[in-house]
């Protein structure tokens, strides 16, 4: 079944819908692109490296041995997060997004916890991520789940100014 993201279909109710966490399925490319384009445009602007991934997640992420995970509410993708292999045992956590209307409801924490666990199951000994200091809620979430800050380094993203890692024992 092809799932197309229609944000208008998500009910605006105070109660959180039941959330299913699952891997990428055929037909999820539009949801991955739409969820990520929204937050990137809102805070920054789409960069060339964003387009590489968002226009071809199957080729850029999955075909390279990566994984994309989704949070699904009432059959609609409301969040996503990717694990991109960097080198053996190390994955980058990338393109994490949650629908704006459902932010603050714990979906991001559930999705990131699931992504971390999937990384462990894949044999990762470290997860790495890049973000921006403007995204304070995201940084707090990463810190609360054990990510530690790293010194600045080169990045394909001009917006990246916060670098973090999570090492597994």
Q: How confident is the model at residue 7 (pLDDT cuts 50, 70, 90)?
A: very low
Q: Which pLDDT tens digit goes with each residue over 136-168?
A: 999 999 999 999 999 999 999 999 999 999 999
Given a cut of 60, is residue 14 above it in pLDDT? no
Cα(103)–Cα(96) distance, rounded to whole angstroms?
A: 12
For residue 63, what pLDDT is reported?
Answer: 97
For residue 145, what pLDDT is reported?
Answer: 97
**From residue 45, how far is each of 82, 128, 158 by CA, in Å?**
19, 22, 10
Q: How many helices (H) does the chain have, and how many strands (E)?
A: 5, 7
Q: Is residue 144 part of a domain?
A: no
Q: Is residue 141 part of a domain?
A: no
Q: Is residue 72 part of a domain?
A: yes
Q: Is residue 65 part of a domain?
A: yes
For residue 15, what pLDDT is reported?
Answer: 60
For residue 16, what pLDDT is reported?
Answer: 64
CATH code where residue 93 lies = 3.40.630.30
- Domain count along the chain: 1
Domain that residue 53 falls in: 17-125
Given a cut of 60, is residue 3 above it in pLDDT? no
């Amino acid at each position: 079944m092809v799932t197309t993201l229609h944000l208008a279909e998500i009910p605006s109710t105070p109660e959180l819908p039941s959330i299913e966490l699952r891997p990428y399925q055929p037909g999820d490319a539009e949801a991955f692109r739409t969820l990520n384009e929204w937050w990137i445009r809102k805070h920054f602007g789409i960069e060339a490296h964003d387009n590489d991934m968002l226009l071809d997640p199957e080729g850029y992420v999955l075909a390279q041995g990566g994984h994309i995970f989704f949070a699904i509410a009432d059959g609609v993708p409301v969040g996503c997060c990717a694990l991109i292999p960097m080198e053996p045992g190390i994955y980058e956590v990338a393109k994490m997004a949650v629908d704006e209307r459902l932010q603050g409801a714990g979906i991001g924490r559930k999705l990131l916890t699931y992504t971390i666990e999937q990384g462990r199951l894949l044999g990762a000994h470290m997860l790495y991520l890049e973000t921006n200091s403007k995204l304070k809620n995201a940084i707090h979430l990463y810190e609360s789940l054990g990510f530690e800050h790293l010194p600045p380094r080169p990045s394909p993203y001009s917006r990246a100014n916060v670098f973090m890692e999570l090492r597994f024992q």
